[in-house]
Every structure is written in C-alpha cells, then in structure tokens.
Chains A and B, each alone.
Chain A
Amino acid sequence: MPDEEVAEEGLLTPTEPAVQDPLLRELLAENAAPADTPQEQPQPIASPSEEVDCVVIGLGAGGAPLLARLAQAGLQVVALEAGPWHNPEKEFATDEMAQNFLFWNDERLSAGQDPLAMGKNNSGTGVGGSTLHYTAYTPRPLPDDLHLKRDFGVGEDWPLTYDDLAPYFEEVEQFLGVSGPTPYPWGPARSKGYALPPLPLNSAAQLMVHGAEKIGINTSPAANAALSGPYYQEGVGWRQACTNRGFCQAGCSNGAKASMDVTYIPLAVRYGADIRPNSYVTEIEKNERGEVSAVVYTQNGQPHRLPCRHLFICAGSVETPRLLLLNGLALNSGQVGRNLMAHTGVQVWGTFPEEVRPNKGIPGGLISQDTHRPKDADFAGGYLLQSIGVMPVTFAGQVARGRKLWGQPLRDYMRQFNHIAGINILGDCLPHASNYLELSDELDGKQVRKPRLHFTAQENEQRMNKHASAIMRRIWEAAGATDVWDFMRYAHVIGTARMGLSGDDAVVDRDGRAFDVPNLYISDNSTFPSALSVNPALTIMALSLRTADKFLERQRRRDK
C-alpha cells in the first residue's frame, strides 16, 4: 500500500469513516483507536479456555463490515475464514487460470433444469471472500425492489424499507470510495454524491452508449467500488487509483478495487479483530438452552475449539445454510435452504468492426436502469442493463458451452476476440418451491456432505430473459454488431436463510438475528427475502453494518 507521502498531492482530504449510528459514535468515543496494526502479523492460536465476545464465520461482504463494527465497539472478536490471507501485489497474477484459487473449489452439485454454474461464476474463498473477485458493481436497489409482493402479488416483501438502508448505503459508498455519477439518474434523490467521479468508459461502454441512444434508452456511467483517484482509507492509508487492468473478476493486484481485504478488514484489524485464515468450521456447539456456545474448526490441519458468547455466520448463501443444516441450527421455520434465487443474467455478445479489446477498463462501465419496470413487461419486477468487458479464458469457455463451437470454427471465432463486446442484464428472480439447497450424501474434499443446489428458471425469469434479450439485441445491432448471440446465465445464489417478520416463515428477523437461536446472527445474501434487481454486494455490506448496529444496541440495553 502507498504511504501517505505518495499521494499527499491534496487530491482528497483524508476522511473519517462516516458512522451513521449514534450509538456506535458513542462507543467509538469511549474506545479510542489503537495504534496502526500491521496487516500481516502472526495471529495467536486460541488457548482452549478463552471465551470471546463474538465469532464471525466468513470474511466476505457479509462478515467483514460487521467485524470492523464490532471491533470498533471494543468487543473481542475472532474471524474464522476458510481460505488464506493473500498478498495481492505479490501473489495475484494477471492470468485467469493462475487465479483459480480465489474460488470455492470444493465441489457443489448443480441440479434442476437450469443448473447453476458455481466455482468462478458464483463463489469465493480467502480473507475478503467473493469480493476478491467481484466486479465491484455497487448500484443501490431502488425502493420498490423491496416490495415486489405489494406491487405484483408475487415473491416476498422485505421487512425493511429503502429508508432503513439508505444511510448505510451512503456510509458504505463513502467508506469504500465508490466511483460513480453524481447525481445518479435513477431512484430517489440522495443526501450525498458518490465519493469519486466515475471510472473512464471502455470500448464496450462506448458502444452501449451509441446503441442505446439510437433506440431511446438512457445510460449512465455506472457506480463501481474501484477508485477513479487515490483515496484515503483508515487502517490502510492511501489506496491507489484503478489502472484499467480489467481483471476485477480474477483479483485486483493494486488495491484499487474495494475488496474487503483492503477496506473493512484492515479497519477491523486496526481495532483489534483477530483474523484466523485457513480456518474451516466443522461444528457449532450448543448449550442446554439451545444457544451457540462454541465453534469447532480446523486451522492448517489442527482442530481448535473456540467458546463464544455470540456467533455471526456470514459464509454466503451456500455455506451458511449448509452449516445450519449440518449442525441442526435455526431450522424450526423449515426455510433453511429454501427460496434459492439466482439473478437472471443473460449476456448478449456481438462482433464489431472497430477494435474493442474487451479486456481493458472496468468491465461494467455503463449502466441503464430504464428497464427497472418496463412498461411492456409481461413479468413481475425488472432488471438493469450493463456493458461487459471480458477476459479470454472466461469468454472462450462461454463460447464453448453456449455456442457449442469446436474445431476450426471455434478457433476462427476466437480470433475476433479484440472485436467482441458484450452487454448483459441483472434481473430479479422469484422464489419457487422447486428451487432449493439440500445436503447430498456425497462427501467433498473436506469429508463434509456436498450441497446440492436445485434451480429451474420459472416463467417469470424466462419472460424477463426474453424481454431483455430482445432489447439488448436491438442495442447491439444499433451499435453496429454482427454475429450476435445470447449466453444464458444465472449469477449470485441468494435467499437460502431468509429474513422476515416471524419465525413461522423466516430464519432471521430484520436485524439478522435467528428466531430460534438468540445469540446467532446471519449476515450475507442468504437472508435476502427477494433477489433485488441489482448486484447484491452493496446491500450485503449495508445489511452487515445494520446488523452490527442492532446487535450493539441490544447489548447496550442489556448492560443497563
């Protein structure tokens, strides 16, 4: 990381983290920040007798923000992350295949009519979780994303409103240094603009501007959690601006992308959080009252037992329900593993006469939310449009699977790589009884039952894809594309431990607290009652901070 001398050209004033919650501000004032802690110091191994305030399982977008919050509040917190702690500058190659270690590569089984691709499409491991390879899209949900059922009579409403979440969206955006347009063209007016101006538009984004304009669709530079200029980060120092590597999905090597390992995790470490990488949870113990009492895990082959007062499971919507099912936790509602959703994500690719070189620049530079609630829709909900850049191995794999080209025709098509550009959607998905996660009888490399994910796109998703494909084809043809083809795809597993108003039909309440187990919290996209028509990372982080604040509030009340 650069030190402060490198970037002291007065580009930005170092900012204090904008803490929304008055209670936390109070707690922060009581717990003065300790001296800077180097990021990579050896962590102590737990002694068998220690009992800590909080254990957090998983250090992605769900776990890292609340870890920082709890540490800032002065609690003794230990984070268990299944994967390693990387040094991106030294370890991250600009090579897709070499970066496969970023994905959760223990096998999952994909069933149903539209089996979900996992691995690099849908999973992560390591200190930072999936944010190590997310594309850093950070659009906010629009207010009506949270009440699909009220508006359409299908799906589920959130037990939270946009106004409950808006302050947290703002806090996350300012803390991460989100680059984006101010004002943002869709959704309610905001009290604060994005932290930085948008990133530059790459070729695919420019083509989408032209094509969309011709058919009357508004576009805008997107909001991305990658820095368009140097930005000061507490616990890190100055983070560098994005160098247009375009490699977000295979790991950012210079800290420009706001993955958790360069944002909330250093903040948590600065306030004393104990990070234990390579720590895979094998068992969650309960006491006679049915509360969580300890977590058993293996670190580098050694078993450990860590007693705790509170547990936060933030392992993502596959590993979280898997842990609950394996340990018989929070199962009374019967909803664990159910309501599995995946964003519609159909991509449209085309060949252009111009040179595109689709590997450069932030992959998702341009957005349109004109299709959020299309007037001619024959489906509930809606979607957003994004331009997409791509790397050669990922693209070639999609060509093989999607176009079934092989032999000379495949090599001929791939020779056009530098003239290829794509556009895709991210759309809502409704829960359905036939879409769920269960434990199979097959064991994985860790000798744990493999999860089996059932997913079949239902009529609503199929209609949305069809609508979106037609619009994207029109945009691409207007922009001059030939040889246009669709790649059907579903991204992000969502909703396997839903939140709700009552333990009769939900696993956790609006604060992320399990109805059945009073000292168990869940924070990740498994709690989403509906999929939302935007990329999930920003909402996961916002909910994570909110869950921490509500937890702290409850502890404070208990103290008094």
Chain B
Amino acid sequence: MSFEELLPTDHVSEPTRAALSQRLAETTEPYEPQLLAPETFRLLEAVAARLFPQPDRPQPIPLAPAVDKRLAKGGSDGWRYDAMPPDREAYRLGLGGIGQIAQALFQTDFEALGPAQQDEVLKSLAGGNPPGEAWQELPANRFFEEMLAELTETYYAHPWAQDEIGYTGYADLPRWERIGLNEKDPREQ
C-alpha cells in the first residue's frame, strides 16, 4: 500500500501521523528564506536540484528550506568536523565557493548553467580540489559530504521518497508478523 492509503489507517500511530502530515503539508507551502540571502537560497535550490534531480515529479520534494530553517534556528545534529567553520558560515562560504567553481570552469553563474555543466561543477566540488578562493578556507570534501548528507536525509524523510523506495515502516501497528526473507505483511503489498 502507498503512503496515501496507509496514513489514515490504524497501522499508523498518532505521533507518527502528526509528524508525517506536517512534513507533507510543508511541501506545498511557499517558503521565504529566513537566514540565507535570497540569491544564496536560490543557489542552494539549484544545487539541490542537481543532487536530487526530480524530473518525475510535477512538484519536487523541497530540500533547501530544511537547511535554511535549521540554520535560522541555530539547530545542529550534535557535531561538526573540527576542520569546518560553524554551519552558517560553512554554508555561506561553501555556496559562494560553488559560484566560484562555476565562474572558473564556465565563466558564468551556477544557476545560468545547463544541467550537464552544473554537474561538472558539483563533480569538481565532490572531487575535493575545486578552483576558487573559498576552498582555501573550507575543506571542499567535508563541505560536500555535509551538504549532501543533510539534503539526502531531508529527501528520504519525505513520504513521497519513502514511497519511491517501497518503505512502509511507519505503518508499524499493531506489529510486523512476517519479518523473514521474502516475507511481507498484507499492508506491505
């Protein structure tokens, strides 16, 4: 069964339904950046669109708002690479650095590039030794890893992404009976 079918059923607990419903509601709400400058936020959206291309969805799962919201709140996942500056500074520096890579490779802004060229920029970043003065200060591989992990966790926490991979673990009531190889409870069909 899909998320839409399972959500209203007794297989989903109240606190689970509350968390998932809220996440779903936020998907379609317009979002105004709270911390990042509008142009920096647009750049983050453009980067997220290449790290998670979603041509299959009329409305993509929004990823940049979660980052901006967290940074605005000063939220943390409990640790930081010592080699990295604090998160707000890392994102500002790192996104600026992505702009510098685009300029160095293609002499234009990241957002103005086509998908293939944008991917070239991100490959250069992921490779760990990109051009641009931002990367003298910020370790490129760590920034890429941290940003990718945050966007990835945001993506797969979304019910649509969980449907995409066939995950129904949120519908865990009253219990899972069939947990062995090639075994499924009826609601997993």
Contact = CB atoms under 8 A, between A and B. Distances in A.
Interface of A: 90-98, 100, 103-111, 115-120, 123, 200-203, 206-207, 243-247, 253, 354-357, 359-361, 391-393, 396-397, 399-401, 404, 406-408, 410-411, 414-418, 442, 445, 452
A361 B78 contact: no
24 contacts: A93-B20, A95-B16, A105-B78, A109-B81, A115-B82, A119-B78, A200-B180, A203-B180, A203-B181, A243-B175, A245-B175, A356-B181, A360-B176, A361-B176, A391-B169, A393-B153, A396-B155, A401-B149, A404-B126, A406-B122, A406-B126, A408-B53, A415-B166, A416-B165
Given A95-B16, A393-B153, A109 B79 contact: yes
A14 to B, nearest CB: 24
Interface stretch (B28-36, B38-46, B69-77, B99-107): B69-77
B73 to A, nearest CB: 10
B81 A110 contact: yes
B137 interface: no
Interface residues of B, number: 55
B169 A392 contact: yes
B157 interface: yes
Contact of A355 (B12, B77, B167, B184): B184
Given A108-B79, A399-B152, A90 B14 contact: yes
Given A93-B18, A357-B188, A407-B51, A109 B165 contact: no
Contacts of A118: 78-79
A393 B181 CA distance: 22
Contacts of B50: 407
B148 interface: yes
Contacts, number: 181
A94 B52 contact: no
B94 to A, nearest CB: 15
A92 B143 CA distance: 32
Contact of A396 (B77, B82, B152, B188): B152
Nearest to A444: B76
Interface string B100-140: 00000000000000000001001000100000000000000
B75 A90 contact: no
A95 B19 contact: yes
B152 to A, nearest CB: 4
A247 B126 CA distance: 32
B10 to A, nearest CB: 13
B165 A400 contact: no
B165 A417 contact: yes
A263 B81 CA distance: 36
Contact of A109 (B82, B162, B176): B82
Given A95-B20, A243-B174, A400 B149 contact: yes
A357 B184 contact: yes
A414 B162 CA distance: 10
Interface in B151-189: 152-153, 155-157, 162, 164-167, 169-170, 172-177, 179-184, 188
Contacts of A401: 145, 148-149
Contact of B172 (A90, A111, A245, A418): A245
A551 B157 CA distance: 47
B22 to A, nearest CB: 9
Given A407-B51, A408-B53, A414 B156 contact: yes
Indicate the member of A100, A107, A253, A417 with the most B CB atoms within 10 Å: A107
